Amino acid sequence: MLTFLYRAGWALVRTAAPLAATGDGKFARAVRGRHRGAAALADWASLHRDTARTLVWFHAASVGEGRQAEAVLVRLRAVRPEWQIVYTHASASAESLARSLPVDFAGYVPADTVEDTALALGALSPRALIFSATDLWPELVRQAAGRGVRLGLTSATLAPTSSRRGALARAFLHDTYAALDAVGAIDESDATALTELGVRKAVITITGDTRHDAAAARVAAIDRTSPALRALGEAGVPLLVAGSTWPDDERVLLPAVALLRAALPLRLVIAPHEPTPEHLTDLERRLAINLPGAAVVRLSALESDPGAAAACRLPPASHSRLPPAAWDVCIVDRVGILADLYAAASVAFVGGGFHEAGLHSVIEPAALGVPVVFGPRWHSSRDARLLLETGGGTSKASSDAIAAALGGWLEDTDAREAAGAAARAVVESGLGAADRSVQLVIALVEG
């Protein structure tokens, strides 16, 4: 009965998709992408699929899961260059990352309908289908298993707050998880939770979280002479990088920054999670209220003209003769660059902890040895828990508390360096997960 209802629901969604696919917002792009996902895979296969070569299909929901998959894909491409690799995602946020991966095709996962799934699997004829973290699609798993496709899950996890732990979800998803042939769980607690969902104990291996390998690789690849990092300059003033913020985060963070700037010199780089024109304009308005007199500039303007900040300083007018690099707040007005900007940070604030979606990734600043502050909605993040346990990060629920935590690190160099070292150690202790996951995939495909 649940399967019938699921298929009927997806059939309705598939029919209504064109109505929801108007505009250029993330949701509309994702709807369009999934609506055409199966056809795009079939079109690629008709031109490029070589059935004499093994094909492995990787799927990851969005950017975070995509980074976990990336660490595996890079290594797998090096040791099995003869394989064809297809990568799919479900979120519009992952479009840029998908284009950068070492795969033969990257695009949206098809709508999870009977027809779309059959078209995609028939066209690709994959040897294995590998999911990253959590994003399993029941119809895709059901049909793949029926065709003899080997099914794997890497960096497998189940957060304490996950809705999949509910009784209804467990009942519906049991067969989906039971179909998996190889699972690389992040740790023992995840392994236990996954068996409760239906994964067979015999197929589970503890491999760790490949996100740590991906973060370390990203740090090693940072170009410290890039236009963005050059634009931020070497002013000798402490720099707070606030990443992936939502308006709910900013309502708490900006008063904290005002308190800090009243006590010590500080610059703020703030990167909204969704830098839409509306969000950027609203952020500038709130900066004017919370930080009157601050020189506010967008990163794109700062990169093209280092003197742009002088014209952006709000009253008083006596500040109009500022030196070229004299800015106080830099708004990051594009995506895909945040992980590099943490390299310039003295301390970091990661958004999402005051937003209903929950905390965004804290691992990028941690990998750079930057201590992290975040809001109270962190319980779905294993990395946040590790930072809290080791002292590499702290969670605060008010502007005063955020200001006190950041101020303590900024005023005490030894404390800041110790917290940064603890944050980096969290990442370093997790290295090797990608290599173990690659071996799991190879064994699944070739075993």
DSSP 273-290: SS--HHHHHHHHHHHHHH
pLDDT at 313: 46
Which residues form the domain of 93?
A: 2-208+432-446
Q: Is residue 136 domain-shared with residue 231, that is, in the same domain?
A: no
Report the CATH number at residue 175: 3.40.50.11720
Q: Is residue 185 domain-shared with residue 235, that is, in the same domain?
A: no
Q: Is residue 161 domain-shared with residue 240, that is, in the same domain?
A: no
Q: Is residue 185 domain-shared with residue 302, that is, in the same domain?
A: no
Note the pTM of the prediction, 2 decimals: 0.87
Q: Is residue 438 domain-shared with residue 417, that is, in the same domain?
A: no
Q: Does 122 reside within a domain?
A: yes
Q: Is residue 195 domain-shared with residue 232, that is, in the same domain?
A: no
Do residues 402 and 396 touch, judged by C-beta distance below 8 A?
yes
Measure Cα distances from 209 to 157, 278, 369 in Å. 9, 36, 18
Q: Does 213 reside within a domain?
A: no
What proportions of the chain, in percent to the nearest 5, are helix, strand and coil? Answer: 55, 15, 30
Q: Is residue 190 domain-shared with residue 60, that is, in the same domain?
A: yes
pLDDT at 319: 33
Q: Does 215 reside within a domain?
A: no
Domain count, the chain: 2
Q: Is residue 146 domain-shared with residue 272, that is, in the same domain?
A: no
Q: Does 217 reside within a domain?
A: no
Question: What parts of the chain have a pLDDT lower than 70?
Answer: 21, 234-235, 305-325
pLDDT at 320: 33
Q: Does 216 reside within a domain?
A: no
Q: Is residue 421 domain-shared with residue 341, that is, in the same domain?
A: yes
Alpha-carbon torsion 212, 218, 224, 228, what sign? Answer: negative
Do residues 309 and 295 touch, judged by C-beta distance below 8 A?
yes
Q: Is residue 270 domain-shared with residue 377, that is, in the same domain?
A: yes
Measure Cα distances from 268 to 7, 331, 342, 345, 394 in Å. 49, 8, 12, 9, 19
